Structure 1
């Protein structure tokens, strides 16, 4: 458990229904006391059960599924679940399985604007569950096969570690011509609206 934060007023640490080090780092850097727990949700099974949902509603459903799974095991805790869906021209993309899949995915994103829908669900603490989604728009510059291969080779594991085959905090920044959206949304956990909701529940010192 992290050391208690003077900012966090919850009786127990915030429980993040994710093992994502990026999401945990966002919360701890904002001064929150956080614990993590893997939700154990089969994302592709949830997606298959929700066939026909648009990308925004799918992101919300996945975030809720994660939060609800952990809240069921820890009903007295305040739980945050999050998920992110990448959509381009109406097609939902998933995390590439390997370098070849990353190259294929980047070729499809090249020269286009795609959307990252980052959804968050909040459960517990005696309040009704609530959820929201924030969207960022990212435009990938035109890329030829050689440039894509060079990037994937240099990026290494980072090219298969996220849904977009890139990490903006690393070499992925070279792929873009324009980015519209909050940085924390792009990283998968929109902090400003989440903090506002925690503040409304009197869980923050100010």
Structure 2
């Protein structure tokens, strides 16, 4: 069976995940249940994204019909063992960007595939090198792009990615919020 012909339920309101799936040719519809993005404090930072993806998938499992697969995902930005999630406000976004400025950090996206009788959780990791950001550049970015729904307070496909990221290791789509290449491979094994 071709993964592009599957009936996928995207358990995410992220416009970036929808865009990536649409551009890759997947058939999907969005159905979500509100989930508090919390995790046990003892969870290792490398496992948080997968934990949250699974939590989102299970919160939406009531939507699964016999021939459907839920796809849920969550991304985290990690610098020096600390997770930088979605900022609370503009001041928090500025603080996060100041910390990421000039640093190499990791982006881990966890994905959960869930059907009536199967579950698969996996993660992808990318490394992102930021060039130094001035306070003027940070203010410009936060005011113009309002990155309040983005882990680490940035999106690689916006100004910051175009002008201030000098290197990535891993896939661009993972940093955007969904490792589409890995999703495709995992779906081949899942079906």
Normalised to the residue count of structure 1, the TM-score between the two structures is 0.83
Deviations 1:62-109 (A, max 9, x none): 000111111134353311110011110111112112222211111111
Among residues 47, 59, 62, which one is paired with 1:57 in the alignment? 47
Q: List gaps (5 residues or longer) in structure 2.
A: none
CA distance in 2, matches of 1:33, 1:73: 16
CA distance in 2, matches of 1:201, 1:105: 37
CA distance in 2, matches of 1:102, 1:134: 24
Q: List gaps (5 residues or longer) in structure 1.
A: 1-5
CA distance in 2, matches of 1:182, 1:162: 17
Equivalent position of 1:9 in the other structure: 5
- The reply on whether 1:177 has 2:163 as its aligned counterpart is no
Equivalent position of 2:154 in the other structure: 166
Which secondary structure does the structure 2 equivalent of 1:164 belong to?
A: helix
Pairwise CA RMSD: 1.9
Normalised to the residue count of structure 2, the TM-score between the two structures is 0.89
CA distance in 2, matches of 1:54, 1:201: 26
Map 1:21-170 to 2 at 5 A.
Answer: 21-43=15-37, 46-47=38-39, 50-74=40-64, 76=66, 77-124=68-115, 126=117, 128-153=118-143, 155-157=144-146, 159-170=147-158
Kept in 2, the 8 Å contact 1:7–1:31? The answer is: no
Size of the aligned set, in residue pairs, is: 188
Which secondary structure does the structure 2 equivalent of 1:53 belong to?
A: coil
Which secondary structure does the structure 2 equivalent of 1:15 belong to?
A: strand
Deviation at 1:175, TM superposition (A): 2.3
Distance 1:149 1:68, change over 3 A: same
Deviations 1:135-190 (A, max 9, x none): 1111111223233223323x332x32311222221212222222212011111111
Q: Which has the larger radius of gyration?
A: 1
CA distance in 2, matches of 1:65, 1:95: 17
